[in-house]
Homo-oligomer: A and B are copies of this chain.
Amino acid sequence: MTEQPLRLIIHAADEASLARARSNAANFLAAIENAELELVINAGAVAAALACPHATDRHLRVCANTLRNNGLDAPAAWPQVPAAVVHIAERQRDGWAYIRA
């Protein structure tokens, strides 16, 4: 066990996984001080997130491909990534852990 800080991507790709991801995110934030956490959503998870706000939404990273392909708009406060798949690969290359909720 090293002392390296935990940096985590939680990924949700449909409505059911978004619900789990939000619960995972809340548990992670409660357990880890100064956690670095991103909740990356693409595919069906994007419309599900738009339909229902959550306390962990400040950690969202929204796939711009999904928004464009589905004619959706996200709140300006939600940071977008051009492609969730690329963002997730880059984060892991840079040492982040990954969980698919």
Contacts and interface: CB of A to CB of B under 8 A. Distances in A.
Interface of A: 1-2, 4, 6, 8, 10-11, 13-14, 16-17, 20, 23-25, 27-28, 31-32, 42-43, 65, 82-86, 88-90, 92-94, 97-101
Contacts of A2: 93-94
Given A6-B93, A99-B100, A85 B28 contact: yes
Q: Please name the 5 residue pairs, one residue from A and one from B, whose CB atoms are nearest each other, closest first.
A: A92-B97, A100-B100, A24-B85, A89-B97, A8-B89
Give the interface centre of A10, A20, A23, A99 by most chain B CB atoms within 10 Å. Answer: A99
A89 B6 contact: yes
A51 to B, nearest CB: 19
